[in-house]
Structure 1
Amino acid sequence: MAASESYEFAWICEVDPSTGSVMPRAEAGAEGYLKEISLSIDLDSPAGRGPTGKAIRTHETQVANAFEDADFEPWREYAEQYGYQSAAAIPIVHDGTLYGVMGVYADRPKAFDDQEASVISQVGEVVGHAIAAGERKQALMSDELVELKFQIRDIFAALDISAETDGTITLEHTVPVDDGEFLVYGTATQNAIDTVARATETIPHWQDLTIRSEGDSTSFEIRMTDPPVLSVVASLGGSVEQAVIEDGDYQCTIHLSPSVDVRRVTDAVEAAYPDVEMLRRRQISRDHDDSKHFQRHLVETLTDRQQTALETAYHAGFFEWPRDASGEDVAESIGVAPPTFHQHLRKAERKVIDAVFSSPIQSVG
């Protein structure tokens, strides 16, 4: 950014959620400016009312004119000293998770009109997506994991849901479909499936319930939109290994990469469920199972769309006989046309088959 003729200076900062401090991580185009200024996320502090503080709080791009905007007053002297007349703060965000803010400065007034602000905002989205993808890959390939286990007593009362507390509901698999949207697959005992339906009607981010198969245990699919905990965990490359509601009491286990800021997850859990109790936090090692190691490497070869198509088809029962879900059903679940679903599925199947059969076969005898 700083190397272009349009801008004079660019920098990237991170936010320490425990202290609220803003920490510069990289800069280009000028030296010394960041040493002169102070920044904050505190709205009550003048240092927190500029474009950077606003971008951190709102997750939206903010622009300022150094010599016209009153909120820029704490940095006006230094902007004049370095020749900056306009500034923009672009949040680096993916799926609601803020990774940092990129500041960009220009030597001309009102440099960031609506069109230019829209263009540079896309840079923040691209960088955020790349960071999230890197964290997901690191979590997928890491041999060490952080395990968190939470419990909520009488979760239906905590969520103000009038429901029977008998029976067991298990949320077993999660497939990210789009930004902020997930398909969650689970099972419920016969005396608990009505409770799942009532929860879907009551919990705002539980959008749609689809029954996939019935018997002693009923299989179901729930579409969730912006679930507060799941969104944060997924954006950090983690996974909710299993969530179980048994006789009204809820427990869930979350796995994260050791490099992840665990507090972001615990804060999200506590904000969504004030009555939650953390039962366990520990570091664990993955089982040294060749099949699981092979599976992780195989998943790495799939594109996001191919993985979504394959996982959704599998968990929805597309590969069962008779099928629990048709190609049209799965396509509708992931929001694409049936031919598009089949195209992604066929490419994913080819990669799986290639991985299984491409190794040389050793002769025996």
Structure 2
Amino acid sequence: MAKLQRELDAVRSIELDNAFYVEDGTWLESLTVASNGTFDPETAIERISGASLFYSSEIPTASDDLQLRRLTILANESYPFILSLVLRQEVIPNRIVLQNGVFEVVVTARDWDQFRAMADEVQETLGEFELLSVNKDEEPGEPLDSGRLTEVLVSKLTDDQLAVLETAYDSGYFDIPREASATDLADELDVAQSTVSERLRTAERTLLELIYGPRE
């Protein structure tokens, strides 16, 4: 993942959606790559020693400035591989994302001792570990499945809804405090403010329906 990030100048993030260990340090990996510009995955993978591209598909977005691609690759991961460090302690990896040279990892552990053992190994092996938050949850969640979620979400939203969500997110509309107003979004999209509000509400309702199901 880190080598691929170095090969892509405009990459936003690389998410490890799934991985299967083959043998001798080789993994079959599914990645979602978000980039600020177009890129040729085959050329990028060819420049990485020990990696080969099996399959690539583009996930549609409404923005010309954002490209999402799902890659399936065969890669020889030299030790330490972040996923192997997590799995070694029998912790469930829920999300692994590489962004700005930093891995953000979401995991589910049985108890604090199991989590502490994993954290200690990551700290000892990689030399750095920062705990951002801890939540107690009875539902561990699915391991490394958010890439599939991305495909489902973008397929359920219209181009206009995707455009307003992407613009709102990139502009800081959802930040606390907000860095952009609905008026700013309307100016950016060249539509009326009422149109922005309507598209945001319908997009948010669609997302909630995916989580909770349609209202009776």
Provide the TM-score with structure 2 as the length reference.
Answer: 0.44
Please identify the structure whose Cα radius of gyration is greater: 1
Instruction: Say which structure, 1 or 2, has more relative contact order (CA 8 Å, 6+ apart).
Output: 2
